[in-house]
Amino acid sequence: QTVVTQEPSFSVSPGGTVILTCGLSSGSVSANNYPSWYQQTPGQPPRTLIDSSNTRSSGVPDRFSGSILGNKAALIITGAQADDDCDYYCVLYMGNDIWAFGGGTKLTVL
Protein backbone atom coordinates (compact mmCIF):
# COMPACT_ATOMS: atom_id res chain seq x y z
CA GLN A 1 0.00 0.00 0.00
CA THR A 2 1.36 3.38 -1.02
CA VAL A 3 2.05 5.77 1.83
CA VAL A 4 2.36 9.56 1.78
CA THR A 5 5.74 10.61 3.11
CA GLN A 6 6.90 13.80 4.83
CA GLU A 7 10.04 14.70 6.73
CA PRO A 8 9.27 14.01 10.43
CA SER A 9 11.07 17.15 11.48
CA PHE A 10 12.88 20.15 10.05
CA SER A 11 14.68 23.12 11.47
CA VAL A 12 15.05 26.62 10.05
CA SER A 13 16.56 29.84 11.31
CA PRO A 14 14.37 32.92 11.62
CA GLY A 15 14.30 34.65 8.25
CA GLY A 16 15.45 31.55 6.47
CA THR A 17 13.84 29.52 3.71
CA VAL A 18 12.66 25.96 4.15
CA ILE A 19 11.18 23.48 1.70
CA LEU A 20 8.98 20.78 3.19
CA THR A 21 8.19 17.91 0.87
CA CYS A 22 5.35 15.46 0.34
CA GLY A 23 6.05 12.29 -1.56
CA LEU A 24 4.80 8.81 -2.23
CA SER A 25 6.46 5.63 -0.98
CA SER A 26 5.93 4.27 -4.47
CA GLY A 27 5.88 6.56 -7.47
CA SER A 28 5.92 10.29 -8.04
CA VAL A 29 3.57 13.05 -6.96
CA SER A 30 1.95 14.88 -9.86
CA ALA A 31 -0.74 17.49 -10.30
CA ASN A 32 -3.21 14.60 -10.50
CA ASN A 33 -2.58 13.94 -6.81
CA TYR A 34 -4.06 17.40 -6.04
CA PRO A 35 -1.68 18.17 -3.17
CA SER A 36 -2.83 20.59 -0.47
CA TRP A 37 -1.14 21.81 2.69
CA TYR A 38 -2.28 22.39 6.28
CA GLN A 39 -0.77 23.95 9.36
CA GLN A 40 -1.58 22.91 12.91
CA THR A 41 -0.63 24.33 16.26
CA PRO A 42 -1.11 22.31 19.45
CA GLY A 43 -4.70 21.99 20.60
CA GLN A 44 -6.09 23.65 17.50
CA PRO A 45 -7.83 22.31 14.40
CA PRO A 46 -5.84 22.31 11.16
CA ARG A 47 -5.63 25.50 9.18
CA THR A 48 -5.69 25.30 5.40
CA LEU A 49 -2.63 26.94 3.86
CA ILE A 50 -2.61 26.05 0.17
CA ASP A 51 -4.96 24.23 -2.16
CA SER A 52 -4.07 22.01 -5.09
CA SER A 53 -3.86 24.96 -7.48
CA ASN A 54 -1.20 26.44 -5.16
CA THR A 55 -3.56 29.20 -4.08
CA ARG A 56 -3.17 30.44 -0.52
CA SER A 57 -6.22 30.43 1.72
CA SER A 58 -7.54 33.73 2.92
CA GLY A 59 -5.22 35.32 5.46
CA VAL A 60 -2.25 33.09 4.73
CA PRO A 61 0.92 35.18 4.36
CA ASP A 62 2.62 35.21 0.98
CA ARG A 63 5.77 33.72 2.49
CA PHE A 64 3.97 30.38 2.06
CA SER A 65 3.86 28.87 -1.41
CA GLY A 66 3.27 25.48 -2.97
CA SER A 67 4.79 23.71 -5.91
CA ILE A 68 5.72 20.36 -7.35
CA LEU A 69 9.48 19.94 -7.30
CA GLY A 70 10.81 16.88 -9.03
CA ASN A 71 8.73 13.93 -7.91
CA LYS A 72 7.28 15.53 -4.78
CA ALA A 73 4.91 18.27 -3.73
CA ALA A 74 6.59 21.04 -1.81
CA LEU A 75 5.62 23.69 0.71
CA ILE A 76 8.06 26.57 0.58
CA ILE A 77 8.34 29.02 3.45
CA THR A 78 10.49 32.05 2.72
CA GLY A 79 11.46 34.32 5.58
CA ALA A 80 10.39 31.94 8.34
CA GLN A 81 8.99 33.54 11.46
CA ALA A 82 8.69 32.35 15.04
CA ASP A 83 4.99 31.60 14.74
CA ASP A 84 5.68 29.23 11.83
CA ASP A 85 7.03 26.86 14.49
CA CYS A 86 4.35 24.13 14.37
CA ASP A 87 3.23 21.06 12.41
CA TYR A 88 2.61 20.87 8.68
CA TYR A 89 0.61 18.24 6.80
CA CYS A 90 0.03 17.48 3.16
CA VAL A 91 -2.89 15.59 1.66
CA LEU A 92 -2.78 13.69 -1.62
CA TYR A 93 -5.43 12.17 -3.84
CA MET A 94 -4.81 8.44 -4.13
CA GLY A 95 -7.50 7.62 -6.69
CA ASN A 96 -11.09 6.34 -6.42
CA ASP A 97 -12.05 9.35 -4.30
CA ILE A 98 -9.57 8.24 -1.61
CA TRP A 99 -7.29 10.74 0.10
CA ALA A 100 -4.34 10.34 2.44
CA PHE A 101 -2.41 12.58 4.79
CA GLY A 102 1.31 12.52 5.14
CA GLY A 103 2.69 11.85 8.59
CA GLY A 104 3.36 15.52 9.14
CA THR A 105 6.48 17.62 9.61
CA LYS A 106 7.31 19.30 12.88
CA LEU A 107 9.01 22.56 11.95
CA THR A 108 11.25 24.23 14.46
CA VAL A 109 12.21 27.86 13.97
CA LEU A 110 15.35 28.69 15.94
Question: Which residues here bind another protein, judged by CB under 8 A?
Answer: 34, 36, 38, 40, 45-48, 50-53, 55, 57, 87, 89, 91, 93, 96-104
| Comparison of 58 and 110: residue with beta carbon closer to another protein | 58
7-27: buried (b, 16+ CB within 10 Å) or exposed (e) per residue?
beebebeeeeebbbbbbbeee
C-alpha distances (whole Å) from 41 to each of 46, 72, 87 are: 8, 24, 6
77/5 Cα distance (integer angstroms): 19
Taking the complex as a whole, how short is the minimal distance between the CB of residue 29 and another protein, in angstroms? Answer: 13
- Taking the least distance from each CB to another protein, the nearer of 48 and 78 is 48
Least distance from another protein to the Cβ atom of residue 9, Å: 12
- Tell me whether residue 30 or residue 52 sits nearer to another protein (CB atom): 52
Q: How far apart are CA 17 and CA 77, in angstroms?
A: 6
Beta carbon nearer to another protein, 45 or 82: 45
20 forms beta bridges with 75
Q: In whole angstroms, how close is the CB of 48 to another protein at the nearest point?
A: 5
- Round to whole Å and give the CA distance between 97 and 110: 39
Least separation in angstroms between residue 86's CB and another protein is 13
